[in-house]
Every structure is written in C-alpha cells, then in structure tokens.
Structure 1
Amino acid sequence: MNATPPLNRRLEQARRLLALAQTGLHYTTAVFDKERYEEIATIAHEQIAEIASMEAGEVADLFAFESGYANPKLDVRCAVFNASGQILLVREAADGRWSLPGGWADVGLSPAENAAKEVREESGYTVDIVRLLAAWDTAKHPHPPSVFHIWKLVFLGEIVQTGDVIGVETDAVEFFRLDDLPPLSLGRIMPAQIRRLDTLRRGGEVEFD
C-alpha cells in the first residue's frame, strides 16, 4: 500500500507549513523561536521545490517579499461577453495561452477597480463593472498545482469604449465562442469555469467557495 499523500495534498501541507513559519516570524521576539521558524520555512521551501520541480532557492525568492501574517494571494479577473455571447480572452505572453483579463490585485484599488484596470491594460477595452460573478478558492478546483494559495474573484464587465492595449503581459486579444475556446492558461482559468461564468451571468447568480 502506497502511503504517500497525493500531490495536491502534499503541496497544501507544504504551503501550510510555510504560512505558519511566516506568521511565526512576524510575531516572535525570541531568537530561539525565530531560528526554528526559519528552519520550518526552509523545509517548506524544499518540499514545494520538490513538488513543483524547482530549486529551493527559486521558491525562497518567490516568497522573499512575503512577510507579516500569511494570507492567500488575490487574483482578480473580469468576464466580458459581447452581444453574441462570446467571451473576451487575452493571450498571456508568459505561456502563449489564453485567459480572462486579470492578475494580482494592486494595493490602493478596490477589487472592482482592479478588474476594470486589468481589462483596460490587457485588452484595450474600457468596461463598467456590473457585479461579482464568482469568488473561488483555486485549491478547490482542478487547477495545476501552484506554490501560492490563491483566491480568485471574477467580475462581470460591460464594454463602454475601445482603445489600445497598454500593458506588456498579453500579446493578443479576441472574442471566442464558448464551444470553441483556444488553449487556456489553466493556472488562471479553465474551460468549465468560463462556461460556469456564462451560466452565472445569465442567471443573475453569484458563486463562492
């Protein structure tokens, strides 16, 4: 009998260890405790690196600016549909695959303001944010494993003006039929989620984990 936990479970455990170490380092004032929390963080980095096929130093660099009480990362996206029911997607320069406009939330902006900003930068369209469609915990969906624990907010946007792309993170913009989606950047969005967003906007519903 194989007693090794499934990959996602191992990653969840390693992320939890790292969160405990980060929070402990934030609150402790004892040198002994600080050393122990740093050791736990190093072990967690090594575990995450093994699961994600990375070097431990690379993982440590990813979390180098993560300090204070540990919290999930917030990914804000916007679903924009045209009159024909097609979905607006942008192609990510990082992996050549498609996604909803969006990204990490910026300090100083509300979630809705972040969503509108991302659409403007990545697609050239100016949108009004109509309402929230979904608040998802990516750990509860079959996304590829991520070193971060991510919460995803997806808003519904309506186009009010066209313009030029001003960001550098995307290199193409297009509307797609829901039954003919291009290869998606699955860490960002999945086909089933796009179809679910269409159902939510048609039904006036909000979904949350």
Structure 2
Amino acid sequence: MNLVYFCKMYRFQMTDKLLNEPWLTWAIQIQAIAQNGLAYCQNVYDIERYEQLRDIAVEMLSYKTAIPQDKVKNLFCNEQGYQTPKVDTRAAIFKDDKILLVQESDGLWSLPGGWCDVLESIDSNTVKETREEAGLDINTKFIIAIHDQHKRNYPPFAYAVLKTFVMCELIDGEFQPNSETIASDWFALDELPPMAEEKNTPSQVELCFQAHHSKHWVTQFD
C-alpha cells in the first residue's frame, strides 16, 4: 500500500521529514523478516517470535502515525508467503513523437499501467492495462527499463516494487471513460502535465522518449 494514501485514509499527514526517517525503513524490514519467517518456520516457538516481530513493526508505524494498531496490521501486515517485490508495468506508446498519458480522477497523469495480475506476464499485463485504461490495442516491442520504486519514485510504498517500462506499438482503439481513468491525450516531452509520480516521474517519461529515438536501445535496470 502507498504509505501516503494509507495515512490519508486515517487523516494523518505523512510529511517529507517523516517519510525520510530511518524508522520507516526499519519497520518495513522487520515486517519483511517476520513474513518470510512465518512462511517457512515450523517450530512453534520461532513462529511466536516472528509474530512478535510483526507486532513490533505494527507498533512502530502506529506509534508514529497515531493510527490504531488493528488498522495498521490489516493493511501493513496482511500478506502471507515469502515477501518479494511486486511488479508494475507501464506502457510507452508514441504517435507523431508524442507519448500517450491517461488522467486519473485526482487530475494527475501517468503512463497506462498497473500491478501485474496473477496469471499475467509483463507482456500480457501491459496489453491488458492499456486496453482497460486507454481503450487502445497495442503490441509490446521491448523493455525500456526496470526501476526500483524506492529509488526512483515518490512517495515510497510499504513494500518493494519493480516498475517495468515497456515500449509499445499502437494498433488501434479509442479512449472510453472507465473506473480508473477519466481522459487520455498525447504529449510532447516539453509539455508534460502534472504527473502521478508514484507511478512515473517526468524523468522516467523522458527515458521513454530517449528509447523511442534510439536505434539500438539497451534495457536499463536498477
């Protein structure tokens, strides 16, 4: 979950200073250690210890944000199995040297995309998300970059995310309003609108333009 969205749900202001405090990284790390331990541990005493670690992570976040512990636990510690990064796909689609962006209900813009669903690959998820958010049919061409969300985007999430930017070729289609986006448009690099930077930053969009203009692009990754 996006930590800023999480805190807004409970009317808590997550400031830049707070987001940069080490305790937040510590809470995330403790939660990951606990979840991984619970995924594999068989010893009843070790299971208790990992559950205690998870409770400590919850207490840290609750103490700093004043959000009730049961709410934190439901949203921050609600997954099972070995904790690994989530995968997010973003489609870079060009026409007349302009890139396609979609607008969300908050007025901010992003490349079409989203979480890679179960049973979807990077290829199929990119195609699916573009059809759902932009109403367009596309072919995927190559991966532009794979970015660590914590290193590149703001605000941070409470888990690791690998953001995959995919160069795509437009086939056809037309935008239709939907539950996720309210508009779409084509933008030149020097006229980008306000961006949803947790999804993609202006520099990431610029990277897509560089890949579009390159004859021999090499995938970048963190």
Pairwise same-fold verdict (TM > 0.5) = yes
Q: In structure 2, what is the equivalent of residue 62 of structure 1?
A: 75
Q: In structure 2, what is the equivalent of residue 86 of structure 1?
A: 98
1:10 aligns with 2:13: no
* TM-aligned CA deviation for residue 54 of structure 1: 5.0
**Using the alignment, how far apart are the partners of 2:79 and 2:30 within structure 1?**
14
Contact persistence 1:125–1:164 (CA under 8 A): yes
Aligned counterpart in structure 1 of residue 183 of structure 2, from 143, 155, 172: 172
CA deviations over 1:52-78 (Å, ceiling 9, x no partner): 775543332224541111101111111
**Using the alignment, how far apart are the partners of 2:62 and 2:104 within structure 1?**
24
* TM-aligned CA deviation for residue 103 of structure 1: 0.6
Give the 3 Å change call, closer, same or farther, for CA 208–124 of structure 1 in structure 2: same
Give the 3 Å change call, closer, same or farther, for CA 52–189 of structure 1 in structure 2: farther
- Taking only the aligned residue pairs, the percentage that are identical comes to 36
**Using the alignment, how far apart are the partners of 1:115 and 1:189 within structure 2?**
15
Moved more, 160-169 or 50-59: 50-59
Amino acid paired to 1:136 = H
**Using the alignment, how far apart are the partners of 2:62 and 2:196 within structure 1?**
21
* Secondary structure class of the residue paired with 1:12: helix
**Using the alignment, how far apart are the partners of 2:212 and 2:66 within structure 1?**
38
* TM-aligned CA deviation for residue 170 of structure 1: 1.2
**Using the alignment, how far apart are the partners of 2:128 and 2:51 within structure 1?**
37
**Using the alignment, how far apart are the partners of 1:201 and 1:43 within structure 2?**
47
Task: Give unmatched runs, 5+ long, in structure 2.
Answer: 1-16
1:159 aligns with 2:159: no
Q: In structure 2, what is the equivalent of residue 43 of structure 1?
A: 56
CA deviations over 1:172-192 (Å, ceiling 9, x no partner): 111112111111111111111
Q: In structure 1, what is the equivalent of residue 143 of structure 2?
A: 132
TM-score by length of 2: 0.82
TM-score by length of 1: 0.87
Amino acid paired to 2:84 = N
Number of matched pairs: 204
Amino acid paired to 2:99 = I
Q: In structure 2, what is the equivalent of residue 185 of structure 1?
A: 196
* Secondary structure class of the residue paired with 2:95: coil
Contact persistence 1:26–1:69 (CA under 8 A): yes
Moved more, 123-132 or 5-14: 5-14
Amino acid paired to 2:185 = E
Q: In structure 1, what is the equivalent of residue 41 of structure 2?
A: 28
Give the 3 Å change call, closer, same or farther, for CA 137–53 of structure 1 in structure 2: farther
**Using the alignment, how far apart are the partners of 1:53 and 1:162 within structure 2?**
47
Aligned counterpart in structure 1 of residue 219 of structure 2, from 203, 206, 209: 206
* Secondary structure class of the residue paired with 2:191: coil
Contact persistence 1:15–1:48 (CA under 8 A): no
CA deviations over 1:112-159 (Å, ceiling 9, x no partner): 110011000000010110111111111222421221211111101111
**Using the alignment, how far apart are the partners of 2:110 and 2:128 within structure 1?**
16
Amino acid paired to 1:202 = H
Give the 3 Å change call, closer, same or farther, for CA 25–181 of structure 1 in structure 2: same
**Using the alignment, how far apart are the partners of 1:71 and 1:179 within structure 2?**
36
